[in-house]
Chain A
Amino acid sequence: MSHDHAHADAGHDDHGHDHGGHFSENKILFQLLVFTVLEVGWGLAGKHFGWNKLSLWGGLLFFAFLKGWLIAVYFMHLKFEGWVVKSLILPTPFLVMVIMGYVMPDVADAESPLAHPVGSAVDPATGRVIEDIGPQWSKPDAEHDKGH
């Protein structure tokens, strides 16, 4: 067994049995780094080529959840845990979906969206919406480039 191969030992198991949890942390690290590159590339390409939001966000979420799954299953050893730990953590995705389901009506039925568009501000003295509030909105890098 090479040095980078790890085992799930008895301490990782609810009942003291060895589930044979072999994985290479180096391979998982490599996959995480590759998926991060692909994810950033997907995001930049999607915005550059004007992909629709379903494709852009769907791809991004796919890579994000894939990376999260690798971390949870291998680095956090969830794959090799027993029923107690799994029963503690597995209901949470369902509960997250319940939360999201409850907040969705706030999104879908929003009759009064935010009082003013993001990127503008309300003048506290007059209460008037100021559409463009100046250069502080620009990206720091762009601002820095302008200075040169």
Chain B
Amino acid sequence: MSEAIAAYDPAVDAPAHHHPIYDYDSGPPVERGKFAIWLFLATEIMFFSGLIGAYIVLRSAAKSWPDPAERLAVDLTAGNTFILIMSSWTMVKAVFAAKKGDQGGLVRWLIGTILIGSVFVGIQVFEYIELYHHGALPSVDIFWSTFYAMTGFHGTHVVIGVIWNLCVLIGALRGKYTAKNNLGVELAGLYWHFVDLVWVLLFTIVYLF
């Protein structure tokens, strides 16, 4: 009996009605996670476009609009923009380290990204506190309403990105990511870069226009 089992060759002995096994996936020709994150990012673009569109309408309809440079610390925020761009660069480094299977590099660059992202959030919180002490509340006028709506929603996205990167860091410390299995790092990276991209536009529209 055991000799019969050993002699069984599926290619020859399998019944003729058995279907061949294809290396085939009926889904889209891209990883499901990546498909989902890009679809999500497309909706996020529309979300921020709605906010910016509302800002344009309100600003254009206002009889007057104050110069943002007279109300906001443009120099501080320009520095903060540098910081967020730097964090995008460290995230690129983390993704490349993951793809090379460099566990140490992945952990180091992720920690760098998290720290720099936290500094960005810290500076934004500092800015909010300063503005609060000077009576600049969202209820004061439409300038502050739109300012807090746009920068607040973006800041929330940065906080979520920091938390997401922390989760990825925990996974990296546990050895979850390898040179062949690193999609989780890449997805977090895509979200983080998107947050950076949105800030580049918001900084221009809110602080420099």
Interface set of A (CB-CB < 8 Å, partner B): 6, 9, 11, 14-15, 25-26, 28-29, 32-33, 36, 39-40, 43-44, 47, 57, 60-61, 63-65, 67-68, 71-72, 75-76, 81-82, 84-85, 88-89, 91-92, 95-96, 99-100, 103, 106-107, 110, 113-114, 116-121, 136-143
Contacts and interface: CB of A to CB of B under 8 A. Distances in A.
Contact of A103 (B30, B57, B200): B57
Given A25-B92, A61-B204, A84-B30, 8 more contacts: A9-B99, A11-B99, A11-B183, A39-B208, A89-B42, A117-B64, A119-B64, A143-B134
A60 B12 CA distance: 70
Interface of B: 28-31, 34-35, 38-39, 41-42, 45-46, 49-50, 53-54, 56-58, 60-67, 69-74, 78, 81-82, 85-86, 88-89, 91-93, 96, 99, 130-131, 133-136, 140-143, 182-183, 186, 190, 193-194, 196-197, 200-201, 203-205, 208-209
Contacts of A92: 42, 45-46
12 contacts: A11-B31, A11-B99, A14-B28, A32-B88, A36-B78, A36-B85, A71-B88, A88-B39, A99-B46, A113-B62, A118-B62, A118-B63
Contacts of B197: 68, 71-72, 76
Contacts of B58: 114
B57 A64 contact: no
Nearest to A136: B135
A118 B35 contact: no
Contacts of B96: 6, 25
A99 B50 contact: yes
A47 B53 contact: no
Given A47-B69, A63-B204, A72-B197, A118 B29 contact: no
A88 B88 CA distance: 22
A64 B29 CA distance: 32
Give 3 closest A-B pairs by Cβ, nearest first.
A136-B135, A43-B208, A64-B204
Contact of A75 (B53, B54, B88, B208): B88
A127 B50 CA distance: 31
Nearest to B202: A64
B65 A32 contact: no
Given A89-B41, A110-B61, A60 B49 contact: no
A113 B196 CA distance: 33
Contact of A113 (B31, B53, B61, B89): B61
A64 B200 contact: yes
A101 B168 CA distance: 40
Given A71-B200, A84-B30, A40 B61 contact: no
